[in-house]
Amino acid sequence: MAARTRLPTAGGPRAMSEETTFRLIYRSRIRIAPQQRPAELGKLFTTARSNNKRAGITGALLLSDQRFVQTLEGDEARVRSVFATIERDSRHDEVSVLEAGPVDGRAFPHWAMARVSQDGSAPDTYLIAREASVTPATSRGTSERQEAVLQVMRQAARGPAPVV
């Protein structure tokens, strides 16, 4: 039997097993000039989806005017490796982890990287971000698990990072 690792999660400590998914949610400040964003973000999504699919990582990326908020799910070592790459990426600044730990299942099992966007520019899943709120802007249903993760992402896009 595989060794178990205990890590803190939003719901408290939990034993991580082979069936458990590791989830990491982070927030960063976007360091891409507004006029370069469409091209740069297009490249980012293409590359990330390919790399994530190959690594067995799923998740979602929320974009606001100033921030990236991303959820990464999968094998802990692989998620941490991808996150280490993100921390070194010059397109990100002020990177902070909001949550990291084992969860009972993936919130985005069918997405190598779902796009959650403020402007609806051809996203897979999108939200409208406003200064005061971020609200769903699609009739496509989300699961309770997705909604819980999206709520954390929405809150991070709106205001200060929660203390963990």
- Segment 127-138 shows an average pLDDT of 40
Classify residue 6: in a domain, yes or no: no
For residue 5, pLDDT over 60 is answered with: no
Classify residue 34: in a domain, yes or no: yes
d(CA 86, CA 83): 5
Residue with tokens 């360091």: 31
d(CA 55, CA 113): 12
Classify residue 141: in a domain, yes or no: yes
Q: How many domains does the chain have?
A: 1
- Segment 6-34 shows an average pLDDT of 67
Coil/strand/helix, residue 19: coil
Q: Which domain holds residue 59?
A: 17-158
- By DSSP bridging, strand 58-63 and strand 114-117 are parallel
Q: Identify the sign of the CA torsion 40, 86, 102, 51.
A: positive
76-126 residue pLDDT tens: 999 999 999 999 999 999 999 999 999 988 888 888 877 765 444 444 454
Classify residue 2: in a domain, yes or no: no
CATH number at residue 143: 3.30.70.100
d(CA 137, CA 135): 6
